Structure 1
Amino acid sequence: MQRRSTQGVVFVHACPKALCQHVEWALERVIGAPVSLSWADQPAAHGSYRAEVAWTGAPGTGAKLVAALRAWPMLRFEVTEEASYGNDGERMSYVPGHGVFRAPTSANGDLVVSEQQLRNLAAHATSIEAFRHGVDELLGAAWDADLEVYRHAGDGSPVTWLHQVV
């Protein structure tokens, strides 16, 4: 029997220096292999560092990585998981004060909003403004607004690969 696997990326957008090693240890516990990230200054948040790492593992590993990183509520991070046989792709984002946003993604990385979500929103929105607000909620606009400046600060950064031990 062939073991299914997928891949994704962990983007740690802002991490205090004192937590960098702890973040690596948390990733190691999930992946089951040593992790050494290339940390860089995060110009969008003085005193913070950023890193990104690509990973491979079993479907559901992305959610486990998010659960491990949520131990530190001051982090800003995103985790992606590509679609695999029987599983949709996902993007999960964490922002202090907002918590976790989780949504399925298409093959090109766009967030997917279901027919039922749209029908429910259309049935309950009391105005066009309420409908627009509901669409923003479905797309995680609050998380994107917060993270966008951190994402741009990481453009062109090197990526390391992690492979889950099987």
Structure 2
Amino acid sequence: MQRRSTQGVVFVHACPKALCQHVDWALERVIGAPVSLSWAEQPAQHGAYRAEVAWTGATGTGAKLVAALKAWPMLRFEVTEEPSQGSDGERMMYVPGHGVFRAPMSANGDLMVSEQQLRHLAATSGSGESFRHGLDALLGAAWDDDLEVYRHAGDGAPISWLHQVV
């Protein structure tokens, strides 16, 4: 049986200096190859550092990367996994106090909400406002709102590539 391959990106938006090497090691364990991220100061949070790395690996690697990183509840990060044959893409975000948000992602990077999710939301929403709040929950608005300032601080940062050993 041939393993399906995909790719994605890990965005570590905010990490205390003392954990940077531990994050490298955690990614290394998942990818199965040496990892040395290029850490830069995160201007959106004093004392925090940021890094981005693109990866290739088997389908499901994105979820494994999230599981490895959420061991440190003070991190802020996102992991994307692009669609591959037979699998939707995903975006997973982690914010302290909110935990992990996970949603399917289209080929152009949009989060996808299913017909059944929308039908349930429409059936259970008592007002337009509760529908809007429910839609925000389905789209991970609380995570996006928190991470947006960190994302802008990293615009233009270089990205390295990690290749999973298969």
TM-score by length of 2: 0.99
The CA distance in 1 between the partners of 2:128 and 2:55, in whole Å, is 41
Equivalents in 2 of 1:13, 1:145: separation in Å? Answer: 13
Q: Distance in 2 between matches of 1:88 and 1:4?
A: 12
Distance 1:153 1:87 in 2: 31
The residue type paired with residue 92 of structure 1 is M
Q: 1:37 is matched with which residue?
A: 37
Name the structure 2 match of 1:71.
71
Q: Separation in 2 of the partners of 1:78 and 1:107?
A: 17
- 1:2 deviates by 3.9
Displacement of 1:3 = 3.1
Aligned counterpart, 1:85: 85
Give the count of matched residue pairs. 166
Aligned to 2:54, the other structure's residue is in SS state strand
Q: Shift of residue 4 of structure 1?
A: 1.6
Q: 1:53 Cα deviation (Å)?
A: 0.1
Q: Deviations over 1:27-72 (max 9, x none)?
A: 0000000000000000000000000000000000000000000000
Q: Is 1:14 matched with 2:47? A: no
Let me know the Cα RMSD of the aligned residues. 0.6
Whole-Å separation in 1 of the counterparts to 2:114 and 2:163: 32
TM-score, normalisation: structure 1? 0.99
Q: 1:163: how far off?
A: 0.2
| Aligned positions of 1:94-105 closer than 5 A | 94-105=94-105
In structure 2, the partner of 1:110 is 110
For the residues of structure 2 that align with 1:45 and 1:3, how far apart are their CA atoms? 40
Whole-angstrom CA distance in 1 between matches of 2:51 and 2:131: 36
Q: Which residue of 1 aligns with 2:119?
A: 119
In 1, Cα distance between equivalents of 2:96 and 2:116: 29
In structure 2, what residue type is equivalent to 1:64? K
SS in structure 2 at match of 1:149:
helix
Shift of 1:132: 0.3
In the alignment, residue 81 of structure 2 is paired with which amino acid? Answer: E
Equivalent-residue separation in structure 1 for 2:4 and 2:81 (angstroms):
13
CA distance, structure 2, for counterparts of residue 138 and residue 2 of structure 1 = 34
Letter in 1 for 2:122: A
Supply the distance in 1 between the matched residues of 2:67 and 2:96 (Cα, whole angstroms).
14
Q: How far did 1:108 drift?
A: 0.2
- Once residues 66 and 31 of structure 2 are traced to their aligned partners in structure 1, the CA distance between those partners, rounded to angstroms, is 12
Deviation at 1:120, TM superposition (A): 0.1
Structure 2 unaligned regions, length at least 5: none
Q: Letter of the aligned partner of 1:13 in structure 2? A: H
Deviations 1:85-125 (A, max 9, x none): 11000000000000000000111000000000000000000
Secondary structure of 2:108 counterpart: coil
- Counterpart-to-counterpart distance in 1, 2:30 and 2:151: 24
CA distance in 2, matches of 1:106, 1:54: 18
| Percent of aligned pairs with the same amino acid | 86
